[in-house]
Amino acid sequence: MTGRNTLTKTRTRAGAAPWRLRLAVMGLSIAALMAQAVWAQDEVITSHGYSFYGDLKYPADYPHFDYVNPEAPKGGEISLYAPGTFDSMNPYARQGRAGRLSWMVYESLLGASEASGEPLPGDRYNEGYGLLAERLEYDAGKTWVIFHMRPEAKFADGTPVTAHDVVFSHNLFLEQGLKSYAEAVKRRVLSAEALDDHTVKFTFAEGISRRSLIDQVGGTPVFPRKWYEDTGARLDEPRLEAAPGSGPYQVKSYDVNRNIVYERNPDYWGWHLPINKGRHNFDRIRIEYFADDNAAFEAFKAGIYTFRPEGNSKTWATGYDFPAANAGYVVKAELPDGLPPTPSGFVFNLGRETLQDKRVRQAIALGFNFEWTNASLQYDLFKQRHSFVQDTPLEAKGVPEGAELALLQSLGDVVPEEMLTAPAVMAHSSNGERLNDRRNLRAAMKLLDEAGWAVGDDGKRRNAAGEVLKIEIPISASGSATMSAVVESFVSNLQLMGIDAKFDKIDAAQYTARERDRDYDLIFDSYVSFLEAGTGLHQRYGSKEAAFSLFNPAGLASPMVDAIIDRALESGSKEEQDVALTALDRALRYEFFMIPTWYLDKSWVAYWDMYAHPEPLPPYATGVLDFWWYDADKAQALKDAGAL
């Protein structure tokens, strides 16, 4: 979810015209802008989909997305696992642990890949096509949008989906949704109005970026107003009874902490739509719960569930030597992934006073030895991540120059001088032959000395007030043994520096609660990468909601980052946008609120050989739950062989 108000800022540049000429040009520019604004309000765009620049790939009469198999057979089951427990089927509650995929039963005005969370369509980035809405219209200035809804749309209980449900859902998120989301949307969306049963209008605030407005309201899940009114349920409370959705899958059954079954609805209203052709092919999607990853893998080997995205490097390297895999009954595949890798790593809680000194954060980071970790614990399968947009054209490299340098200089004092002249921050290198790289440990201890954390007689570091430098890292007991080993080795290096460091392995429910409450010094977590500008950047990296946003686990609040995001949102062309996003990557790395760890440029998956997918896969989606299908002949062959 996205959102945040922004203010337009005047740009400055080197070699500007004399001031009288600048005033004259400014007067002409203001007049032109006023005329353009009037023209923009008069011009109305009608479309079957939306992208910010209006460059939709698929025309109004598209039969289906290019990458799907429109003749894909329907049927069968795919089953996956989830770690830990669940106690709710409401994915929007502020408390509890929601069942995996519990959001997939709901749809929005513009289509989304509900099951996978991947971009839709998978071959384009930041395009949306009508789902509950058959078309939309908006003024060229994007001050309002009207969605014309499909009258045949209905919820799983048979009640029609109307504009009143859309307005109700919008307001429900504002009243009972996450605070960071609600506050951001309130500043940007002035009103939501049902013009009639199947027409809804949103009006947007003036003086803000036009980005992430239409796609924001177009992507909001739509709930049945009548069900909420009849039951008195709240969006922010955990509950096992879920509101019926309008999507192709609905909850068939659940057994708390054991499994959830979603079933394809044969009476789903939208099977005829081109956006759904070749998609939603499984009759059932089953989620099996296990206490930890070891138990889950043993269950996969036994065929208790049939599809496994693999995140454990040790298991990937050594675990697939079992009879079913050796006999060819299990497929082990590396799927291409065109999205930038998720920026994961050890995130500092900047709300902790001890961690507000960058020197302390830099010292702690030097305790992480990527090279040793990768070689000794991860079978040399990963690459070291440096950037928030790793391996994309937006990745900042070297010292800033050209248009990027000009942008940074135009921001004034919020940009430190050293960032203008120094290369982009890179993750440190370490000696991979031993865990405790002495060179890095010496550098770290020097930084701690400079920051005022001296070593006492007991070997512990204390500040002038006598307080011990303590670091605690919570990890989930349902995670892999490899992750525990990674954290343990990192902590041992911190202890060598004189830091009172420890890791705390806790159950999944406690871990979720501590994560939400930001009750940690460091935590292994992630942010989002970005290929385009959107107001969600402010929610995830900006200052406004930094104190409480669940999307900003560090609590990063940087005027420099805010200013660069504003420039990205104000950009008038893709070229200007990309310059600003490169500067954003540079600034995020400079602020040093995360220790970058590792990444893959592909996806590891293993599955029992009963599934098929189109070739080639689209660049931005693996689409396992979206456009893969069940191969009945292959499944029967497994059964005939006694494999399943």
| Residue from 67, 208, 76, 159 nearest 569 by CA | 208
How far apart (Å, rounded) are the C-alpha atoms in residues 429 and 370? 7
How far apart (Å, rounded) are the C-alpha atoms in residues 203 and 191? 5
| Residue from 549, 545, 542, 547 nearest 591 by CA | 542
Query: Which helix (H) or strand (E) segment is 488 a member of?
Result: helix 481-496
Cis peptide, bond prior to residue 616, ω within 30 of zero: yes
In the numeric block, the tokens 């939603």 are attached to 280
**Domain extents in the chain:** 41-65+83-243, 344-599
Write the class of the CATH domain 344-599.
alpha beta
- Confidence at 20, pLDDT banded by 50, 70, 90: very low
How far apart (Å, rounded) are the C-alpha atoms in residues 110 and 453? 54
Q: What are the beta bridge partners of residue 154?
A: 160
| Residue from 111, 100, 87, 201 nearest 147 by CA | 201
Exposed / middle / buried, residue 372 (Cβ in 10 Å: 0-12, 13-18, 19+): buried
| pLDDT at res. 114 | 73
Residues 254-262, mean pLDDT to the nearest whole number: 97
How far apart (Å, rounded) are the C-alpha atoms in residues 561 and 530? 14
pTM of the model: 0.86
Q: What is the DSSP string of 348-381?
A: E-TTSGGGSSHHHHHHHHTT--HHHHHHHHSTT-
Using N-to-C axis directions, what is the helix angle for 163-176 and 179-188, rounded to 10°?
120
- Confidence at 6, pLDDT banded by 50, 70, 90: very low
In the structure encoding, which two tokens stand for residue 163, read together?
């504009």
Task: Dump pLDDT digits (tens) for 200-239.
Answer: 999 999 999 999 999 999 999 999 999 999 999 999 999 9
Task: Dump pLDDT digits (tens) for 498-545.
Answer: 999 999 999 988 998 999 999 999 999 999 999 999 888 998 999 998
Same topology, domains 41-65+83-243 and 344-599? Answer is no
Architecture, CATH, for domain 41-65+83-243: 3-Layer(aba) Sandwich (3.40)
Report long-range pairs for 488-492 (Cβ below 8 Å, ≥24 apart): 489/369, 489/372, 489/373, 489/377, 489/435, 490/346, 490/367, 490/368, 490/369, 490/373, 492/435, 492/436
Amino acid at 252: K
| pLDDT at res. 113 | 80
| pLDDT at res. 463 | 97
**Strand 249-255 and strand 259-264: pairing?**
antiparallel
- Report the half-sphere exposure of 10 (CA within 13 A, side-chain side): 5
In the numeric block, the tokens 């519990």 are attached to 102
Q: What are the beta bridge partners of residue 523?
A: 347
Q: What is the DSSP string of 22-38?
A: HHHHHHHHHHHHHHHHH
Task: Dump pLDDT digits (tens) for 104-126.
Answer: 999 999 998 877 778 899 999 88
How far apart (Å, rounded) are the C-alpha atoms in residues 479 and 475? 8
Exposed / middle / buried, residue 468 (Cβ in 10 Å: 0-12, 13-18, 19+): middle
How far apart (Å, rounded) are the C-alpha atoms in residues 6 and 563? 9
Residues 364-374, mean pLDDT to the nearest whole number: 98
How far apart (Å, rounded) are the C-alpha atoms in residues 209 and 217? 15
Q: Read off the DSSP letter of residue 438.
A: H
Task: Dump pLDDT digits (tens) for 569-618.
Answer: 999 899 999 999 999 999 999 999 999 999 999 999 999 999 999 999 99
Query: In this model, does residue 26 exceed pLDDT 60?
Result: no
Strand runs labelled E in 529-625: 594-596, 598-599, 602-608, 611-612
CB atoms within 10 A of CB 50: 25
- Which CA distances in Å does 320 have to 125, 303, 497, 500, 642? 34, 13, 39, 39, 19
Task: Dump pLDDT digits (tens) for 374-385.
Answer: 999 999 999 999
How far apart (Å, rounded) are the C-alpha atoms in residues 358 and 593? 8
CA angle 535, 539, 545 (to 5 degrees): 135
Residues 75-93, mean pLDDT to the nearest whole number: 95
First to last CA, the chain: 41
How far apart (Å, rounded) are the C-alpha atoms in residues 122 and 116? 11
Taking only Cα atoms into account, the Rg of the chain, rounded to an integer number of angstroms, comes to 26
Query: In this model, does residue 38 exceed pLDDT 50?
Result: no
| pLDDT at res. 509 | 86
In the structure encoding, which two tokens stand for residue 402, read together?
């050209």
Q: What are phi and psi of 13, to 5 degrees?
A: -150, 160
Query: In this model, does residue 17 exceed pLDDT 90?
Result: no
Task: Dump pLDDT digits (tens) for 621-643.
Answer: 999 999 999 999 999 999 999 99
Do the Cβ atoms of 528 and 497 come closer than 8 Å? no
- Which CA distances in Å does 250 have to 105, 166, 284, 625? 5, 19, 10, 14
